[in-house]
Chains A and B, each alone.
Chain A
Amino acid sequence: MDFGLSEEQRQLKASAREFLSAECAPSAVRKAMAAQEGRLAEVDREIAKLGWTGLIVPEKFGGAGLGILDVAVLLEEQGYAAMPGPFLFSSVLAAYAVARGGSDETGDKLLRPLAEGKAIGTIALAESGDSLAPRDFSTTAIADGTGARISGVKEFVPYASLADFMVVAARGDSGSADLFAVDSSAKGVRVEMLKNLDLTRRVGRVTFDQAAAIPLRREPALYPRLLDIGAVAIASDSLGGVERALDMAVDYSKVREQFGKPIGSFQALKHVAAEIVSEVEPARSLLWYAAYAQDARLADAPRFASMAKARLCDVYSRGTDRAVLMHGGIGFTWEHDIHLWFKRARFNESYFGSPALHRERVAQLGGY
């Protein structure tokens, strides 16, 4: 029995922590927040050199061909840093969909530049309704020779204006959802960026009007698996985020004094911090299992993806909320960094399905 990260995963985590604390400190994150594109071009260049962008891209397309648990470790660190930019949506989700669903030709065309950091992908799933279920999509795909044509409106598409290609979920001819790769510069693709509450992220609305698309259907039932990977990815980012908020609150409680002593000496604050960490640590173990289950293709992988998403997002939201309170007035300012995580928790909570939706799925897949 060996339940835990491998030596390589630990090293990846440590080197990511070191790199991000140097290159992606809150002062840098704020630069990205203020910039139109919402990312740090230098950091994005560096992470390509480190091989992160190609981490789960198969070796035959120039990537490292690693698994979901590896990427979970990296996403945790990015959540810890509140790293801005398209990484999670591009190098994890779009890369996953194309690698599994695309032909070798498509993989070669889209993933090679992505792994090299020369291209960005994103995913266009949600619409104005709350559902991610195929039958509810109004975006449709109509067969057109070997390809397809897509029409419809997708909402909350991460970094839509930066993406070179998009993985779009649309209702195919047979009625079931299929995933398609669309070149962003194709005729009939229009992007309009929305204004985010969490400025460490950007989302947009994409309108497709008979845009040319490549079906990603090499692997059957890819769409639900993509949703599972998304759930695990967001859960990983959330784990890092709540750890950071807790670290900040605990550090502050050691230096801020009231009533002649550090505020951390008051049991009220100790108990809040202890409660947060008591939620975080079991959730971390749950997440590791959920990521491992994806890699090992276990039958209960979908159920555990939902468990991880529901739990980590709850813990993240509640943890950041109480971490703000632990700072007192300074925690309510723009100048203090804690609100970066407070708002990112909110993004994570709704993106890829709310905790309520995932709890329902846990019950359903559990047969009760």
Chain B
Amino acid sequence: MDLNFTTAEEEFRLKIRRFLEENLPKSGLGAGREGREDKAWLEKSKAWQRKLYESGYVALAWPKEYGGQALDPVCQTIVNDEMVRANAPYLPGGSGLGMLGPTLISWGTEEQKRRYLPKILTGEEIWCQGYSEPGSGSDLASLRTRAEIIGDEFVVNGQKVWTSGAQHADMMFCLVRTDPDAPKHRGISYILIDMHSPGITVRPLVQMTGDKGFNEVFFDNVHVPRKNLVGKLNEGWIVANATLFHERNMLGSATGSEQRFNRLLALTKKIKRGGRALTEDAVFRQRLADLEIRVEAMRFHSLRQLTDQIRGRNPGVETMINKLVGTELNHDLATAAMEAMGDYSMLAREDASVLDHGYWPYEWMFSLGLVIGGGTSHIQKNIIAERGLKMPKSR
């Protein structure tokens, strides 16, 4: 055990802390998701990502030749910590940075890496994830969106659903069926689709929050160059799982839980119950402390996983639990905040009297969405039991 950072790392921490103090967008973006994700929001957050990137604080561990700095993953952890501390807004290019980028670094061709990675870093190209279909959610491998190879192109027909951010996206990483006769896991390919191509229709779906957050995406003879295939033809399932691995770690990130806990604690210090701050209420203190304990456990759990990653050790069941534990924890944090607010939790985030800028009513709902998205809690439990604990499969 050595939890000390080197002098260079400590200097780096001070540098980013200063940067954030001086440059954090003061208004309009919202430190969290309370800001509505409209066009104006997108432009502002793209500008924020670009500034962050140009100052050297985005995806530090990525290889230099694709715009990264090839730094130790520890530096990224320092950046994450400081972002939490400063309550910085999240980045619009999240699915590129957190999901596709790492997948391409392992699975992409040289040309794909050079073409796509730099623009993910700057936030110039926004990505969306085309996995789920109306008939294929938990059973993702049953997907039916068809891609036929004609000449040096894929011709795509079918439909995706629940596609987050497709309304703003320039590109989609997409799973398509390229061999309808093979067993379901063996006929899938992973391709990159330009969202501005003819034949694509994006139809927004309204979430229970009242926002248009995800979409239906229809493909009608959409032409995609064959060079946009990632991994081998009909072997997309393994690439898809690489992305899911990154997605699930991102959704379950301890950084996000810490940020929420800090916000919850600040909120409850200001709320009075029985004439005292809620933090002094015997029952609620217990609840808060329990949540903090769970958050801290996940924070150190992520340091342990980071160490394993640096040492090149293969992740096991301890990583499979991230998505389940992290998203349920985030939802518990938001539910605790709603309870803390008492009658004020009745108010919609638009109401002038709503507490904490309306962050919690939205977060309370959205955090439940993330218990579902990226593979539901039930599916995570199946994976943990069957792949992690090697319990017999039931299906």
Contacts of B342 in A (CB 8 A): 130, 350, 354
User: Which of B7-15, B59-67, B202-210 has 4 or more CB atoms under 8 Å from chain A?
Assistant: B202-210
Q: Say yes or no: B205 contacts A333, CB within 8 Å.
A: yes
Q: In residues 303-358 of chain A, which contact B (Cβ within 8 Å)?
A: 317, 321, 324-325, 328-329, 331-336, 339, 342-343, 346-347, 349-351, 354, 356
Q: How far is the CA of A324 from the CA of B372 in the complex (A)?
A: 9
Contact flags (1/0) for A182-212 with B, using CB distance below 8 Å?
Answer: 0000000000001111100101010000000
Also in contact, A130 and B207, with CB within 8 A (given A324-B368, A329-B137, A329-B373): no
Also in contact, A325 and B343, with CB within 8 A (given A130-B272, A258-B137, A334-B207): no
Contact flags (1/0) for B134-176 with A, using CB distance below 8 Å?
Answer: 0111110010000000000000000001100000000000000
Q: How far is the CA of A351 from the CA of B162 in the complex (A)?
A: 34
Minimum C-beta distance from A135 to chain B (A): 10
Q: Say yes or no: A196 contacts B343, CB within 8 Å.
A: no
Contacts of A260 in B (CB 8 A): 139
Also in contact, A267 and B343, with CB within 8 A (given A325-B372, A325-B377): no
User: Which of B99-107, B113-121, B346-354 has 4 or more CB atoms under 8 Å from chain A?
Assistant: B346-354
Minimum C-beta distance from B240 to chain A (A): 17
B338 within 8 A of A: yes
Q: Say yes or no: A335 contacts B346, CB within 8 Å.
A: no
Pick the contact of A332: B207, B284, B348, B381 (CB < 8 A).
B207
Q: How far is the CA of A198 from the CA of B351 in the complex (A)?
A: 13
Q: Considering the complex, give the chain B residue whose CB is closest to the CB of A193.
A: B351
Mostly, the A contact residues are mixed
Q: Say yes or no: A328 contacts B376, CB within 8 Å.
A: yes
Also in contact, A325 and B368, with CB within 8 A (given A196-B348, A351-B343): yes
Minimum C-beta distance from B213 to chain A (A): 9
A129 within 8 A of B: yes
Q: In residues 333-349 of chain B, which contact A (Cβ within 8 Å)?
A: 335, 338-339, 341-343, 345-348
Contacts of A198 in B (CB 8 A): 346
Contact flags (1/0) for A247-283 with B, using CB distance below 8 Å?
Answer: 0000000000111100100111100000000000000
Range of interface residues on A (Cβ < 8 Å): 35 or more
Pick the contact of B346: A258, A339, A351 (CB < 8 A).
A351
A96 within 8 A of B: no
Also in contact, A346 and B338, with CB within 8 A (given A267-B394, A351-B346): yes
Q: Say yes or no: A195 contacts B373, CB within 8 Å.
A: no
B80 within 8 A of A: no
Q: Say yes or no: A325 contacts B346, CB within 8 Å.
A: no
Q: Say yes or no: A333 contacts B206, CB within 8 Å.
A: yes
B196 within 8 A of A: no
Q: Say yes or no: A328 contacts B208, CB within 8 Å.
A: no
B382 within 8 A of A: yes
Q: Considering the complex, give the chain B residue whose CB is closest to the CB of A339.
A: B208
A292 within 8 A of B: no
Q: Say yes or no: B207 contacts A268, CB within 8 Å.
A: no
Q: How far is the CA of A263 from the CA of B346 in the complex (A)?
A: 33
Q: Say yes or no: B378 contacts A335, CB within 8 Å.
A: no
Q: Considering the complex, give the chain B residue whose CB is closest to the CB of A318.
A: B335
Also in contact, A258 and B347, with CB within 8 A (given A325-B372, A334-B207): no
B1 within 8 A of A: no
Q: Say yes or no: A332 contacts B369, CB within 8 Å.
A: yes
Q: Considering the complex, give the chain B residue whose CB is closest to the CB of A329.
A: B162
Contacts of B208 in A (CB 8 A): 332-334, 336, 339, 342-343
Pick the contact of A197: B139, B206, B347, B372 (CB < 8 A).
B347
Q: Say yes or no: B395 contacts A259, CB within 8 Å.
A: yes
A126 within 8 A of B: yes
Q: Considering the complex, give the chain A residue whose CB is closest to the CB of B344.
A: A350
Contacts of A267 in B (CB 8 A): 394
Q: How far is the CA of A126 from the CA of B173 in the complex (A)?
A: 51
Minimum C-beta distance from B25 to chain A (A): 26
Q: How far is the CA of A252 from the CA of B284 in the complex (A)?
A: 36
A77 within 8 A of B: no
Q: How far is the CA of A321 from the CA of B273 in the complex (A)?
A: 26
Contact flags (1/0) for A126-142 with B, using CB distance below 8 Å?
Answer: 10011100000000000
Q: Please report A residues at the B interface, Cβ cutoff 8 Å.
A: 126, 129-131, 155-156, 194-198, 201, 203, 205, 257-260, 263, 266-269, 317, 321, 324-325, 328-329, 331-336, 339, 342-343, 346-347, 349-351, 354, 356
A-B contact pairs, 13 of them (CB 8 A): A130-B272, A130-B273, A130-B342, A131-B274, A258-B136, A260-B139, A263-B138, A321-B368, A332-B368, A336-B208, A339-B365, A350-B339, A350-B343
12 further A-B contacts with Cβ under 8 Å, apart from A197-B348, A268-B378, A334-B205, are A156-B343, A156-B346, A194-B347, A195-B351, A205-B353, A259-B138, A266-B378, A317-B335, A329-B373, A332-B372, A342-B208, A356-B284
3 cross-chain pairs, A with B, having the tightest CB-CB distances, nearest first: A339-B208, A334-B206, A195-B351
